[in-house]
Amino acid sequence: MKRRLLLVSNSKLHGSGYLDHCARDVTRFFGRDVRRVLFVPYALHDRDAYTQTARDKFRTLGYEVDGIHEAPDPAHAVRTAEAIFIGGGNTFRLLKTLYDNQLVSEIRKRVMEDGVPYMGSSAGTNVATVSISTTNDMPIVRPPSFSAIGLVPFNINPHYLDPDPHSRHMGGLREGSMLLVEGDTATLLGTTRARLFTRGHPTVEYEPGSDLSFLLTG
C-alpha cells in the first residue's frame, strides 16, 4: 500500500504559532520531492485568509501552496496534486464541502493508489479516518454522510482532553501529538501521549515513538 499520511491533532500549540510545533515533522514528511502542496481550507468560512496563513507558513518551510478553492475544477486539482494538506476548523463543514465537490473518493484514490502524501490537521485528521463520529465540533451543517475518506481503518479524536473522572467522555490524539503512516507502518510522533480505546478492552496509553502499526490491520 502506497499511502503516506501525517495526521496532526492540532494546528497550533499553546505558546507557539501556526504549525510551529510540527514544522520539522512536516518537512521530513514532504521531503524534497514535493514542491507544491494543495491546501484544502473548506473547514473555515474565510478560505482566502486561511489559505494565506498556510501559504505563508509553508513558504518558510520551502513549499508553495495552492488553495483548492482557487481552482476552476477542484477534482482536477486533486488529480494533479503533488501533495494534499487539509486544515482544521469545523469538521461537519469540511466533510460536507468535500462531498459537495465530489472529492472524497478522488482524494482516497490519489492517496491510497497513487501514493500522494496527505497531511491533515484537526478536522483534516478527522476526515482522513473511517467517519467523523468522534469529532468534538458543533454540527453547523449536515453532510450527506458521516463516512469520511477512510485512509485508515479507525477513528481519531483530535484535541483529545483527559476525561474528568466523573465524566464518560472518551478520545484519542492529545494536542501536540501526530500519527505518521507509511504504507502499513504507523508511528506516534510529537510530545504527548495518545490514548487508545478498543471495544471490550481497557484503555491503553502510548508514548511518542510507539509503533501503532497494528491499528492498520483492523
Pairing of strands 118-121, 4-8: parallel
CB-count burial class (<10 Å; 0-12, 13-18, 19+) for 6: buried
Give the SS3 label for residue 107.
helix
For residue 87, give the C-alpha cell.
486544515
Residue 164 is among the residues annotated as catalytic for this protein: no
Catalytic residue chosen out of the listed positions 122, 162, 184, 201: 122
Residue 9 is among the residues annotated as catalytic for this protein: no
Q: Strand order in 118-121's β-sheet? A: 64-67, 36-40, 84-86, 118-121, 4-8, 177-182, 185-190
Catalytic residue chosen out of the listed positions 73, 159, 177, 210: 159
Catalytic residue chosen out of the listed positions 9, 21, 121, 137: 137
CA 34, 19, 192: angle at the middle one, nearest 5?
115
The answer to whether 87 and 11 have CB atoms below 8 angstroms apart is: yes
Sign of CA dihedral 27, 190, 204, 95: negative
Please report where in the chains the cell 509503533 appears, as a residue: 211
User: In whole angstroms, how far apart are CA 188 and each of 20, 70, 159?
Assistant: 18, 34, 15
Residue 159 is among the residues annotated as catalytic for this protein: yes
What positions carry a catalytic annotation?
A: 122, 137, 159
